[in-house]
Chains A and B, each alone.
Chain A
């Protein structure tokens, strides 16, 4: 998985609780991304980062925030989880050219 670690791998939480997912990379790549994967939708971009403290919104950013205080870590936070955020979340990284993305193993999140 190209030096990408996602944690936790599985999480079950209740509606209204905050949740933070972590993506850690050892490749020193500049770009990092968070996607969600849902049946019939493929992968949709939530947020991405160009570098430390430099982030931007993707296609489905409502209800999510991110932070990147170090090159190697990109955190995705659900401030108040809802059942519609039950999904599999993937982190990806890409190098300076930003052309090829490499994916982590995913985090399966269930919001009850």
Chain B
């Protein structure tokens, strides 16, 4: 069965530090992979997506993610975190072309 694991429930970083959020998936074929961000009281906003091609994908707000097939991973990175990046981040895998399976989320806290 398809699944997504985000092993870190909560991460705290200092403003200006680098960030990496982990995502591992289980899927039988080449997956569609997504990262979404949710600010408190808001809906989910798409940060970036991977469908095929270059395994390093760029997204909005300075985020990037790298697809590593050998590790079944799609980790999200940002070189320098801003206080406004504090939010909850969800990794998702496209089970079919029309359904998504979400991880349980990683809450990011940013200290000044």
Contacts of B36 in A (CB 8 A): 103
A104 touches B43 (CB 8 A): yes
Contacts A43-B90, A106-B43 given: A100-B97 contact, CB under 8 Å?
no
Total number of B residues with any Cβ neighbor in A under 8 Å: 22
Contact present for A99 and B51 (CB under 8 Å): yes
Verify A48–B90 contact, CB threshold 8 A: no
Please give the number of chain A residues whose Cβ is less than 8 angstroms from any Cβ of chain B in the complex: 26
Q: Is the CB of B97 within 8 A of A98?
A: yes
- Seen from chain A, the residues whose Cβ lies within 8 Å of a Cβ on chain B are 1, 4, 31, 33, 40-45, 48, 50, 58, 90, 92, 94, 97-106
Given contact pairs A40-B104, A42-B103, A103 touches B97 in the complex (Cβ within 8 A): no
Establish whether residues A42 and B104, one from each chain, have CB atoms under 8 Å apart when the complex forms: yes
Within B1-40, which residues are at the interface with A (CB < 8 Å)? 32, 34, 36
B44 and A31 form a contact (CB under 8 A): no
Across the interface, do B97 and A105 meet the contact criterion of CB distance under 8 Å?
no
